Amino acid sequence: RTEGAVTDLNAAFAAAVAKHQAGDLAAAERMYRDVLTHFPAHAPTLCNLGVVLVRTNRLDDAAQCYNLALAHTPGYADAHFNLGNLHRRTNRLPEAADNYRACLAVNPHHAGAAYNLGLVLVAAGELGDAVDCFRKVVRLEPGNADAYGRLGDVLLRTGQPVDGVAAFRKAVDLAPKDPRALYN
């Protein structure tokens, strides 16, 4: 083994993730890039590097990482989700919606993708589809007070006040001190 060479993908990836979780983004970036020099098609490393790049405001480079992950592993849900988040952040809502839908096609239980798709659909005025998304989130995460609040809001806006109030009440039950839930 050469000094510093990555020979064990799992160990190298885990070490990079540990730096990332500890908030040492510079070290995590170096370590992810080192992993990629030896394992260039490793989608989890590409995605995590993309997350670091987003956090350091290098959005084009992050998009490239996510797209490379999808090129190597087309069904990698996290790449679709992260690319959707990036598109949402840059106000490219149709692309974000496409990525969230692709994520949900791969992993129908991805509550984050369903929630963020709901937000994008609300922004696009597609309230009926947004209701479906937020209903899915509360089925997947019954303790998610914010999802109940979003659901209540969209239900009210689609002329379903009884269901909307019930969703708001559930939000308050789950988060009794949350000002938004109480206001709604």
Q: What is the mean pLDDT of each run of 10 residues along the chain (184 residues)?
A: 61 94 96 95 96 96 97 96 97 97 97 98 97 98 97 96 96 93 83
The pLDDT value given to residue 183:
85
Cα–Cα distance between 178 and 184 in angstroms, integer? 10
Reported pTM? 0.89
Any idea what the Cα angle at residue 96 is, between residues 145 and 142, rounded to 5°?
Answer: 20
CB atoms within 10 A of CB 6: 19
Q: What is the pLDDT of residue 7?
A: 65
Torsion of CA 134, 137, 143, 145, to 10 degrees: -30
Contact of 100 with 120, CB cutoff 8 Å: yes
Q: What is the pLDDT of residue 21?
A: 95
pLDDT of residue 5: 54
